[in-house]
């Protein structure tokens, strides 16, 4: 292992302690009100948001450290509900930008309610009831990372709408994210998957990222033995679809 790599892993490793302190603090405030004092309903919602994002971060830190153990990607398959995976990914996204949206997505009791909550935010979910209620066996944290990155890009670049479609084909899960944004010219279709590459678009997209999301998505999809497809051109919106075999 190079010195640079070791220093990087140590930095990630040292995030564990402050994260544990944040998690313990939030848990105490929520669960020991007799000691720390009562919280209002609004405060409880905020604390829960802090707690679930701390837990998500802890999972990412652990995944990052495990990645360091092997140059190959490690796959952790678990059984999980498709509905949970979709809802949790969306809640993680909206927790930052629109906490009301996050709460309303979290509170949905069934597919119809989830579709409605999303439609009012310009996200059109296409999935059949059978798949929505099914348990599948895949690397949940990796496919969440893939979906989150594709959705974050779509939210950043769309004009009005996003179509999120999930299907099962040939013993694989297919996830498509389509937006109605400016699109990606064919000349850039390979380069956008390079680390730190960002197309030089107009300044209208003030939320700048690092140009790492798609490079990461590509690697994660490859690790899971899947494929990624891009259909887009200038002025025609963008469609990313990934297919992950079970």
Ligand X SMILES: Nc1ncnc2c1ncn2[C@@H]1O[C@H](COP(=O)(O)OP(=O)(O)OP(=O)(O)O)[C@@H](O)[C@H]1O
User: Which residues contact ligand X (rule: CB under 6 A)?
Assistant: 149, 153-154, 157, 179, 181, 184, 192, 197-199, 201, 209-215, 238
Q: How far apart are alpha carbons 161 and 181 in whole angstroms?
A: 8
Question: With contacts defined by CB under 5 A, how many residues of the chain interact with Mg ion?
Answer: 3
CB–CB of 216/197 below 8 Å?
A: no
Tokens for 154, please give them.
């779509």
CB of 107 to ligand X, least distance (A): 28
CB–CB of 57/18 below 8 Å?
A: no
Q: Tokens 């720390």 — which residue?
A: 36
CA distances 97 to 6, 52, 121, 156, 198, Å, are: 34, 15, 12, 11, 22
Of the candidate residues 181, 183, 213, 237, the single one contacting Mg ion (CB under 5 A): 213
Q: Which residue is nearest to ligand X (CB)?
A: 209
Name which of Mg ion, ligand X, none residue 140 binds, using a CB cut-off of 5 to 8 Å depending on partner kind: none
CB of 70 to ligand X, least distance (A): 24
Q: Quick one: 74 or 234, whose CB is closer to ligand X?
A: 234
CA atoms within 13 A on the CB side of 192: 23
CA distances 138 to 69, 81, 104, 183, Å, are: 21, 10, 27, 30
Residue 181 as a binder of Mg ion (CB under 5 A): the answer is: no
Name which of ligand X, Mg ion, none residue 83 binds, using a CB cut-off of 5 to 8 Å depending on partner kind: none
CB of 214 to Mg ion, least distance (A): 6
Q: Quick one: 26 or 221, whose CB is closer to ligand X?
A: 221
Residue 104 as a binder of Mg ion (CB under 5 A): the answer is: no
Contacts with Mg ion, residue ranges (CB under 5 A): 153, 209, 213
């Amino acid at each position: 292992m190079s010195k640079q790599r070791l220093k990087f892993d140590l930095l990630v490793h040292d995030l564990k302690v402050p994260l544990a302190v944040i998690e313990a603090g939030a848990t105490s405030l929520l669960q020991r009100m007799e000691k720390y004092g009562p919280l209002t309903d609004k405060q409880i919602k905020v604390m829960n948001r802090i707690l679930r994002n701390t837990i998500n971060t802890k999972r990412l830190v652990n995944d990052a450290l495990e990645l360091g153990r092997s140059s190959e990607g490690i796959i952790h398959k678990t059984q999980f509900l498709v509905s949970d995976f979709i809802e949790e990914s969306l809640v993680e996204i909206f927790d930052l930008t629109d906490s009301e949206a996050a709460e309303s997505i979290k509170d949905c009791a069934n597919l119809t309610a989830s579709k409605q909550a999303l439609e009012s935010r310009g996200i059109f979910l296409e999935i059949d009831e059978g798949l929505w209620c099914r348990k599948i066996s895949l690397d949940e944290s990796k496919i969440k990372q893939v979906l989150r990155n594709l959705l974050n890009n779509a939210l950043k670049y769309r004009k009005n709408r996003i179509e999120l479609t999930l299907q099962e084909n040939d013993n694989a899960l297919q996830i498509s994210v389509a937006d109605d944004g400016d699109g990606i010219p064919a000349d850039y279709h390979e380069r956008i998957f390079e680390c730190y590459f960002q197309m030089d678009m107009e300044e209208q997209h003030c939320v700048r990222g690092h140009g790492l999301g798609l490079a990461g998505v590509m690697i994660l999809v490859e690790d899971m033995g899947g494929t990624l497809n891009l259909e887009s051109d200038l002025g025609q919106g963008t469609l990313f679809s990934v297919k992950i075999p079970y």
